[in-house]
Chains A and B, each alone.
Chain A
């Protein structure tokens, strides 16, 4: 399944940060959803500002337009405000992208657990993301740091507890 670009992607003004406030807000919203959709499609977890300028998301070779690094940072900052992104360094050159926020992931996992009646049982983290049972679930193959964050989110809600086991970490759902 190939990635489907939104209509804005072929609209040259999309690649210039608009000075008009209202227009800019709509533009940034479009950028945010495009960036997240792209990352989800390609299962990308970390992004580099410099590198992403060359990636097809921010660089449309067909219409010869690309988003400047400053504008990319603006988009990323917008994503951070929405809780979909964390900067990895102070210079804001690398970042973690969460196309679903930790709470959303947590919710998905909890739904799966309760669906199969496994509340009160213990799982290893590896089991959750790479086990045969979760095959076909959206969180299958999730990177460990992302999983951990989602479980932490569940833990604060009181729906799970992360426990240390001999060969790594486990989790118990309530």
Chain B
């Protein structure tokens, strides 16, 4: 028991708490120590015992002092114990509660159990010997009257740790973004390139055939818009959305007039636009707002919201009557159609083809057959 020295209970630099167990009584050899019940703390460096009520009463012994330790099972009226055999008292030992002891071992008696885990962790620490890697620079004392040195405990210690962590994260972040900024530089070059090609095409309008021009332009489109409208270039709010609507108009007109059959779901538009932009991606919200501008800006496109909430962009010339008539024609042709079949027939998405059929039904041109085989639409013969 005389190996123990007074301590303030604070952890040293590099020292971490491993496990803590309440309700532990100390034995000086086989005799009960003249101390109350307290908490046993195992750190990477020391075994600490602190009185339950009087926290000032705190003693510690270095783990390097331990020769070996063993378990002592519980019996009737006896708590389980861990017996720890210690080296002789070192000459430079700080004062402790005991000056002398006839025993070279102590016992930890676990009144509130937890001895199994404590024993396991103690075994771990004893094999890892972490205290050897970073020996505490100062040996703590309870009185602390003669210690004037700065110690990495308390608020200063915490602050220092936080500062260190912050620096590390800083470094990590800047490393991560280095790649990205390089990519940005390259992207700018790409945009420059596509712009110069675009200009060349304009200059040599007569020299290359129309087919080639179109092909080139489609390459450019898949590569990216030469100079995308961004919040940076056009500010935010209405003006931005108006410019964006203009650009969308230029971009969507061709596919809408071509294979899309005059109508595209907004999700499709979103994907197409953002693929063309490459960088400087649009948010869905900005896209919707820009699409809402079509009408007031007298562009040949319209944003249309179906009853089901599905939003599409369609050509202004693309009239409802025509759409319904074509749906009716198709259904009459085939006798009956499901939305999937109709989608295949027109090369539309299933969602849009269904909307068309429902619209035609709403106008009374079609009627439905809802059976186990699915929803089919028939010409309204009623």
B367 touches A23 (CB 8 A): yes
A27: nearest chain-B partner, CB-CB: B382
Q: Which residues of B contact A5 (CB under 8 A)?
A: none
> Chain B 352-382, CB within 8 Å of chain A: the 1/0 string?
0000000001101001111100001010111
Q: Which residues of B contact A7 (CB under 8 A)?
A: 381
B382 touches A30 (CB 8 A): yes
Q: In the bound complex, how far is the Cα of B370 from the Cα of A12, in angstroms?
A: 9
A16 touches B382 (CB 8 A): no
Q: In the bound complex, how far is the Cα of B324 from the Cα of A20, in angstroms?
A: 15
B336 within 8 A of A: yes
Given the interface contacts A8-B382, A23-B382, does A13 sit within 8 Å of B368 by beta carbon? Answer: yes
Identify which of A18, A26, A30, A64 contacts B368 (C-beta below 8 A): A18
Q: In the bound complex, how far is the Cα of B382 from the Cα of A26, in angstroms?
A: 6
* Size band of the interface chain B makes with A: 10 to 19
A15 touches B382 (CB 8 A): no
Q: Which residues of A contact B381 (CB under 8 A)?
A: 7-8, 11
A65 touches B369 (CB 8 A): yes
Q: In the bound complex, how far is the Cα of B376 from the Cα of A65, in angstroms?
A: 13
Q: In the bound complex, how far is the Cα of B371 from the Cα of A30, in angstroms?
A: 20
Nearest CB in chain B: distance from A64 CB, A: 8
Q: Is the interface of A mostly helix, strand, loop or mixed?
A: helix
A21: nearest chain-B partner, CB-CB: B364
A15 touches B367 (CB 8 A): no
Q: In the bound complex, how far is the Cα of B362 from the Cα of A22, in angstroms?
A: 9
Q: Which residues of B contact A56 (CB under 8 A)?
A: none
A66: nearest chain-B partner, CB-CB: B371
B370 touches A16 (CB 8 A): yes
List residues 216-234 of chain B with CB under 8 A from any CB of chain A: none
> Chain A 13-49, CB within 8 Å of chain B: the 1/0 string?
1011011101100110010000000000000000000
Q: Which residues of B contact A26 (CB under 8 A)?
A: 382
B381: nearest chain-A partner, CB-CB: A11
B369 touches A20 (CB 8 A): no
Identify which of A13, A64, A65 contacts B367 (C-beta below 8 A): A13
B369 touches A15 (CB 8 A): yes
Q: In the bound complex, how far is the Cα of B381 from the Cα of A23, in angstroms?
A: 9
Q: Which residues of A contact B367 (CB under 8 A)?
A: 13, 16, 18, 20, 23, 27
A13 touches B361 (CB 8 A): no
A16: nearest chain-B partner, CB-CB: B370
B368 touches A19 (CB 8 A): yes
Q: Which residues of B contact A18 (CB under 8 A)?
A: 367-368, 382
A12 touches B371 (CB 8 A): yes
A12 touches B361 (CB 8 A): no
Identify which of A16, A23, A64 contacts B380 (C-beta below 8 A): A23
Q: Which residues of A contact B382 (CB under 8 A)?
A: 8, 18, 23, 26-27, 30
Q: Which residues of B contact A12 (CB under 8 A)?
A: 336, 369, 371, 376, 378
B370: nearest chain-A partner, CB-CB: A16
A65 touches B364 (CB 8 A): no
14 contacts between A and B (CB under 8 A): A11-B378, A11-B381, A12-B336, A12-B369, A13-B368, A15-B369, A16-B367, A16-B368, A18-B382, A20-B380, A22-B364, A23-B364, A23-B380, A64-B371
A19-B368, A23-B367 provided; 19 other pairs, C-beta below 8 A?
Answer: A8-B381, A8-B382, A11-B378, A11-B381, A12-B336, A12-B371, A12-B376, A13-B367, A13-B376, A13-B378, A16-B369, A16-B371, A19-B361, A20-B361, A20-B380, A23-B364, A23-B382, A26-B382, A30-B382
